[in-house]
Amino acid sequence: MELPSNTSERGLSMAIEFEIYYILFILVAPFLIFSLIWTIFGLSYPFVFVWGMIASGKNIENMVEDVNRRESETRKLRGKDPLSTIDGGYRHNVSDSGLVYASGVFGPSHWHLLIGWFNNLFGGSITIFQKVISTGRAEVMQRLRENAIAAGWDDVINVRIDTADMTPQSSKKGVKGVEVFAYGTGIKYSD
């Protein structure tokens, strides 16, 4: 009678021990993983920062070039810019309409943030941020044109462009970026 009860007790205590380790592991593992990731982040940060210092200016120039090329292609295809901000009051030959939108999240590199901070000390216009945001805006407007053409719309009327912050003002951490969002109503002419 004693033996089975003993073994079962031992089994129970082993099970409890195992469970404690299991729970401990589950509690600690996320922190271990996070600390590992942050260590990697901290170690690689200087290298990525220097790379961004070298590459980010060039990246923006490439983006501007790319957007300009695509924009001129669209103009050549359509003969004019399909976007307009007015409500289509004067158009009477519209057969079909629907919502189109495009968006993108753009952020300055940390090197540009540093330049911007220095610029901020002296005041005046901070050209580097203006460049980043206006490039993003041009890119999103081009995407809107491409989306509208892909959906088969002839024109896009009542275009609105919104900008929203990705990080809340209160938090210092997180990604520094701005979301640009453009939307409008695609229309199709009946003739």
Partner 1 sequence: MEQVVNGVLVVNTETIPGKKITETLGVVSGSTVRAKHVGKDIFALFKNIVGGELTQYTELLQEARQDAVARMVADAMTLDATAVVNVRFATSAITAGAAELFAYGTAVKYE
Chain residues that interact with partner 1, rule: CB under 8 A: 37, 41, 44-45, 48-49, 51-52, 55-56, 59-60, 63, 87-88, 91-101, 103-112, 132, 136, 139, 147, 150-151, 157-158, 160, 162, 164-168, 171, 173-177, 179, 181, 183-187, 190
Nearest distance from C-beta of residue 188 to partner 1, angstroms: 9
Contact 99, 187 (CB under 8 A): no
Assigned token pair, 169: 């003002």
CB 182 within 8 A of CB 159: yes
**95 or 120, CB closer to partner 1?**
95
Minimum CB distance to partner 1 smaller for 42 or for 124: 42
- Closest separation between CB of residue 2 and partner 1, Å? 52
The one-letter amino acid at 32: L
Nearer to partner 1, 12 or 55 (CB): 55
**Per-residue CA distances from 61 to 78, 81, 102, 117 (Å):** 26, 23, 22, 21
* Smallest gap from residue 17 Cβ to partner 1 (A): 31
Q: For partner 1, which is the closer residue by CB, 10 or 160?
A: 160
Q: Scanning the structure block, which residue is given the tokens 């957007």? A: 67
We find the least distance from the C-beta atom of residue 106 to partner 1, in angstroms, to be 5
User: Exposure pattern of 90-112 as b/e (b: 16+ CB <10 Å)?
Assistant: eeeeeeeeeebbbeeebbbbebb
CB of 22 to partner 1, least distance (A): 22
Q: How far apart are CA 66 and CA 79, in angstroms?
A: 19
CB-nearer residue toward partner 1: 56 or 82: 56
Q: Encoding tokens for residue 83?
A: 């976007």
